[in-house]
Amino acid sequence: MARDGADFLLEMVGISKSFPGVRALDDVTLRVRPGKVHALMGENGAGKSTLMKCLFGIYREDSGDIVLKGRKIKFHSAKDALEAGVSMIHQELSNVPERSVSENIWLGREPLHRIGPVKLLNHRKMREDTAVLMSSLDMEIRPSERMGGLSISKQQACEIAKAVSYDASVVAMDEPSSSLTETETAHLFKIIRDLTAKGVAVIYISHRMSEIFQIADEVSIMRDGRMIGTYPIAEIDEDRLIKLMVGRDDTHRFPPVESTPGEKRLEVRGLSSANPRSFRDVSFELRRGEILGIGGLVGAQRTELVESIFGLRQLSSGEIFVDGRKVVIRSPRDAIAKGIALITEDRRGSGIFPLLSITVNTAIASLGSYLNPARFLEHRRIESESRKLNETLRTKTPSMSTLIQNLSGGNQQKVLVSRWLMTLPDILIMDEPTRGIDVGAKFEIYTIMADLAKNGKSIIMVSSEMPELIGMSHRVMVLCAGRHTGTLDKAEATQESIMRLATQFE
């Protein structure tokens, strides 16, 4: 293959980027041709988003060069990038929902009437230019419509129109189809083909295998911050792609999980979210002493599923059975009363009370069980029970009155586990239980999980780390785009088999 610079519209050569403690990108090279769709694939945390953020000047790379149309460039902001013809369609839409379509498209570069020193917005020109833009892209969107009133796919189309209006030569799309229906995705693909026909290069980030083979001309695979390889789509198949995405040495260590699953404890039938873009028709069961892993890629709706079971989000249909009895859970309080506990994914956002002590942080969900006959708190019992739990889990803290914000992430996580064990749950749901904690603390959390399972607790573990899913779970259930695509036994669960289910849209 000729690696002649003239062939490429955009080259990112030897890009490295480190964050404190992590090497996010290690000598990554990506070359994109004009008029082609270049798919970028990799597991969660492989470095795709970091690479794109370096391209757009959101992050500054530590080393490496970015070359656009043969010229070395360095963007300092998203505005620089846009003006140089490099656009990004984000996974989360970043528009101003209360303003009109035309105002959104010309945001920050509105055409102006100048009357002496006074500058006024030229609304008519904005609307006319928008109408021309939309018809050139074959999009049926009225310029005066309120952005927030449009469907997600139309909002996305507006983002693309905005990119085109900047005369973009490179458009990067980060999981653009994650919230689209099939028809909407088909329309998106039509827009992409129109763009490439005009010579635009499209960088397409997606987890959905079928889409890649449908739309991409080339595919680059990233893993652990490194570029694994770039292949013409015709020269690669799904199996090979999956192998390249996951093929990593298993360096993690796990304690033995010795429990044997017993009788059925939790059963979920046909659960659908009240949010139509979230999960649909999910069924599974969880046994006594079992660790059930839930795997999937970003956008698989795993957190939404477990938070809905816990009563934090609304369901539209489906039934939940605990110990064979049908239960209705409308709030976390209901869930706790049924013996369910949830350690959320976002430790700071919905876990800890930073300015409260370890004792209060531990006891907050079970205070009702520690009242004397006059309904006052039994401080001594609360303190001793919190201390006992934290000692069992080996939380490292100078004292029980230390503020939790002064502990390390791993120790905060142990306090949260203590909090939920204090409610005496039968079912413990742990969403990304080892996110952001160091290797030693991870092993301790795994040990705690194995011990809990041995003592008859049932655990649901949502995780984005495949080795963790494989190492700790009796069974791994995989979601893709809100659908339950399969459940693997311990013997069947490999990185390849999980990745296959996680990318199996439909």
The residues that touch other proteins, with contacts defined as CB under 8 A, are 310, 312, 331-333, 335-336, 342, 344, 349-356, 360, 364-365, 367-368, 371, 375-377, 379, 387, 390-391, 394-399, 401-403, 405-408, 411, 419, 423
Nearer to other proteins, 163 or 306 (CB): 306
DSSP H stretches of helix in 393-504: 409-422, 439-454, 466-472, 495-502
Least distance CB 314 / other proteins (angstroms): 14
93 and 151 Cβ atoms separated by less than 8 Å: no
**Which residue's structure tokens are 């046909």?**
270
Tokens of 194: 């129109």
Q: Which is nearer to other proteins, 226 or 381 (CB)?
A: 381
164 close to 196: Cβ distance less than 8 angstroms: no
Cβ neighbours of residue 82 closer than 8 Å, sequence gap 6 or more = 163, 166, 168
Instruction: Name the residue nearer to other proteins (CB basis): 179 or 359.
Output: 359
- For the bound state, the minimum distance from the C-beta of residue 302 to other proteins, rounded and expressed in Å, comes to 17
Toward other proteins, which CB reaches closer, 43 or 345? 345
Residue 182 or 346: the one with the smaller Cβ distance to other proteins is 346
Is 113 or 379 the residue whose CB approaches other proteins more closely? 379
CB of 331 to other proteins, least distance (A): 8
Amino acid at 430: M
How far apart CA 323 and CA 266 sit, in angstroms, is 6
Least Å from the CB of residue 374 to other proteins: 9
Residue 444: partners with Cβ closer than 8 Å, 6 or more residues away: 393, 394, 410, 414
User: Three-state DSSP class for 500?
Assistant: helix
**Residue 464: which of 417, 488, 499, 423 has the closest Cα?**
499
The nearest distance, CB 421 to other proteins, in angstroms, is 13
The C-alpha atoms of residue 459 and residue 293 are separated, in whole angstroms, by: 8
Shortest reach from residue 286's CB to other proteins, in Å: 20
CB within 8 Å of 451: residues ≥ 6 apart: none
From the list 222, 171, 178, 210, the residue with the least C-alpha distance to 194 is: 171
Residue 315 to residue 196: CA distance in whole angstroms: 41
CB of 252 to other proteins, least distance (A): 25
Our CB check for other proteins shows the closer of 351 and 433 to be 351
